[in-house]
Amino acid sequence: MTVKDVLQSLCDDAKVDTEKIGTSLYYWSFPSKEFIQLKSSSENLEKSANEKQKRISSKDKEVSQLSVGKEDTEERATYIEEIKRLEERLEKSRQQLKAVSACDPEFLEQLTTEKTVCKEAANRWTENLFTIKSYITNRFNIEEGTINKQFGIPSDLDYVE
């Protein structure tokens, strides 16, 4: 049993080859097989390393080409300062707009519309609740107070005005 386990692990590691011929299993291993595998792996790694090195050198060239004309000069520093100043001004303007937007007529109109929609929805749900309570009361002959208590419905529930 131990021999079988060892052979199976060697087959899994591709150090031993196996072939079923008829009803027999034949196992073999050539001494040069591992050398060939290592040599192939080494060649693949060298190719990959060369490709990566070429890619790095092309990216270095690209960086050097893109950095032409982008040296730190006084003019560039002036432009960067102006951009920072304009960004700060833009942020202040956004904050002022945010503060004033509460008084915007369109915003107020939108709030009024949303309020109306919410009020209608609340009244619709209240009507649905009253309908269900009426159905339960008529169908199962249960008092309304008992229904309110069981489902946590407040006794002063009414339509939104």
Q: List, for residues 126-145, the tens digit of each pLDDT value.
A: 999 999 999 999 999 999 88
Range of the structural domain that residue 35 is part of: 1-71
pTM value > 0.75: no
Asked if 8 and 54 sit in the same domain, the reply is yes
pLDDT value of residue 129: 93
Residue 111 domain flag: yes
Asked if 66 and 83 sit in the same domain, the reply is no
Q: What is the mean pLDDT of the chain?
A: 90
* Nearest Cα residue to 133 out of 146, 147, 112: 147
pLDDT band for 119, please (50, 70, 90 cuts). very high
Residue ending a domain, choose from 14, 49, 71: 71
Asked if 37 and 23 sit in the same domain, the reply is yes
Asked if 86 and 121 sit in the same domain, the reply is no
Asked if 120 and 134 sit in the same domain, the reply is yes
What pLDDT, in 10s, does the model give residues 35-76?
888 899 999 999 999 999 999 999 999 998 888 777 777 888
pLDDT value of residue 115: 93
pLDDT value of residue 60: 94
* Nearest Cα residue to 32 out of 24, 44, 40: 40
Asked if 87 and 110 sit in the same domain, the reply is no
Residue 161 domain flag: no
Residue 60 domain flag: yes
pLDDT band for 33, please (50, 70, 90 cuts). confident
Asked if 40 and 19 sit in the same domain, the reply is yes
Residue 160 domain flag: no
Helix axes 105-140, 144-151, angle to 10 degrees: 120
Report the number of distinct structural domains present in the chain. Answer: 3
